[in-house]
Structure 1
Amino acid sequence: MDLALWQHRFERWLKDNHATDDAAHDISHFRRVWMTAQKMLSHQTVNPLVVLTACYFHDIVSLPKNHPERHQSSRLAARKTRDILCHYFPDFPPECYAAVEHVIEAHSFSAGIAPQSPEAKIVQDADRLEALGAIGLARVFAVSGALGVALFDADDPFAETRPLNDKAYALDHFQTKLLHLPETMQTEVGRELARHNADFLIQFLAKLSAELQGDCLGLDSQVQRRFHRSLSS
């Protein structure tokens, strides 16, 4: 069976069985992660069915960011995916079960599981790229709004004189996680794309800083230099 047909079957199952109000982990997220993963497939010797399956089911369990067991999400998702494949896709190759489970377990930032296979490296990179760029920017504030987190600390928006706290301020998440993602990328393509999208986030930070100082047209060059230094270090 070709990949396009597997993709169609997975999407149909998700539409019927995975209703969610989590905009960061809905079917369109799974589809985008797969589209990104395909950019890396030609650079690696991999099983594309394993990559496709993991892209579509890696967040089938996704506990909220403020859940005490958040770090267990990927392990729970891996086990649930095996159950789904066994019960709903009996023609799925059983020899791929373990590979799919590892890819899903290793994709998570909070789980801290190192990817051991090229498939796991591709999916981890593709998923993390979703947290960067324009979509990543939108997700930060969508998720923070749902959790009741403030946009930023009005007195010290870039945490120059206070500890970072992304549980209190959405903007802090750029420094606690997002701008560190390029250094975690596992593939060369992933690193290039991550650096490009991180540059976009830095431009946003520089624009925001300028606006906070009453400049609606400019960019704060000091903020640009600061975060570009941290990105290259």
Structure 2
Amino acid sequence: MDERVAEIREHVRTVYQDSGAHGFDHTVRVTRLCELLGAREGANMGVLIPAALFHDIARPLEEKEGLPHEEEGARMAESYLRSMDYPGDLIPGIAHAIRAHRYSTGAAPETLEAQILSDADKLDAMGAVGIARTFMQAGERGGGIADATAHFHEKLLQLQRCMYTESARSIAGRRHAFLTAFLEALDDEMNGHLPRL
């Protein structure tokens, strides 16, 4: 691993006090997805990987102070990267990718790297991990199964249509099918439907 990337990763890790649906483990998975997608799509990894590492760094601030984490995270990334003499020509692309990654803001990712980060973040909300994170998030907010399943319908089942890259669309198709099968099984069990013997 490049020394600068290792330094960024360690800096980001120290910011996360608690685990959770948007904890450091989420950042690590999104970064791995970015490595995979970026290699397939020909992205500039000097932009993509720092953006992935920083993309949720301001989540704790958003939860405590209500600051939009994508805006504050971009600001924090710019400040830290300048302090470590990261190549200045790459910093605007990193900041843009962070600002444009969030599903709920509707900000359009205008570069390949921003599109890949957006895709990777959404992919981590799908499939088996996405199911686990959804129930974690519902619990963190004091909700139950009904709250989690509402989130599936409001957001997660929409994500397959929101992918920008061909590589992400391929992965999203499989993860979407898994989500759908899980919801059907959950609905059957919640409603007391017995399987045929």
Distance (whole Å) between structure 2 residues aligned to residue 32 and residue 39 of structure 1: 11
When residues 73 and 13 of structure 1 are mapped into structure 2, their CA distance, relative to the original with a 3 A threshold, is closer
Cα distance in structure 1, aligned partners of 2:27 and 2:126: 15
Once the two structures are superposed, residues 68-89 of structure 1 have per-residue CA deviations (whole angstroms, 9 ceiling, x without a partner) of 956x2201110111111122x2
| 2:150 equivalent among 158, 165, 172 | 172
Q: Which residues of 2 match residues 203-222 of structure 1 at below 5 A? A: 203-215=181-193, 217=195
Determine which of 131, 135, 145 is the counterpart of 2:129: 135
Alpha-carbon distance between aligned partners in 1 of 2:27 and 2:194, rounded to the nearest angstrom: 36
Give the whole-Å Cα distance in 2 for the aligned partners of 1:106 and 1:216: 45
Number of residues paired by the alignment? Answer: 194
Task: Give the structure 1 partner of residue 72 of structure 2.
Answer: 76
Show the counterpart of 1:27: 24
Aligned partner of 1:117 in structure 2 is 111
Q: Distance in 2 between matches of 1:13 and 1:61?
A: 13
By how many angstroms is 1:136 displaced?
0.7
1:41 corresponds, among 28, 38, 42, to: 38
Q: What are structure 2's unaligned runs of at least 5 residues? A: none
Contact 1:74 1:111 in 2 (8 A): no
The residue type paired with residue 171 of structure 1 is T
Any conservation in 1 of the 2:19–2:25 contact (CA below 8 Å)?
no
Aligned pair partner of 2:48 in 46, 51, 56: 51
Bigger helix fraction: 2
Question: 2:6 aligns to what?
Answer: 8
Q: Is 2:180 the counterpart of 1:202?
A: yes
Sequence identity percentage: 31
Post-superposition offset of 1:42: 3.0
User: How much has 1:44 moved relative to structure 2?
Assistant: 2.7
Match of 1:86 among 82, 98, 103: 82
Shift of residue 213, structure 1, vs aligned partner: 3.2
Tell me the amino acid that sits aligned with residue 57 of structure 1.
F
Q: 1:24 to 1:77 in 2, by over 3 A?
A: same
Q: Secondary structure at the match of 1:24?
A: coil
Does the 8 A contact of 1:182 with 1:195 survive in 2? yes
Distance 1:205 1:181 in 2: 15
Aligned-partner Cα distance in 2 for 1:52–1:216: 47
How many Å separate the matches in 2 of 1:34 and 1:19?
A: 16
Q: Is the 8 A contact 1:128 1:181 kept in 2?
A: yes
Residues of 1 paired with 2:176 and 2:65: CA distance?
29
Distance in 2, matches of 1:95 and 1:216, equals 60
Alpha carbon RMSD of aligned pairs, Å?
Answer: 1.9
Task: Give CA-to-partner distance per residue, 1:115-164, whole Å, 9 cap, x none.
Answer: 00000011110111000011110111111111112321xxxxxxxxxxxx
TM-score (norm 2): 0.90
Unmatched tracts of structure 1, length 5 or more: 153-168, 219-233
CA pair 137-106 structure 1, distance change in 2 beyond 3 A: same
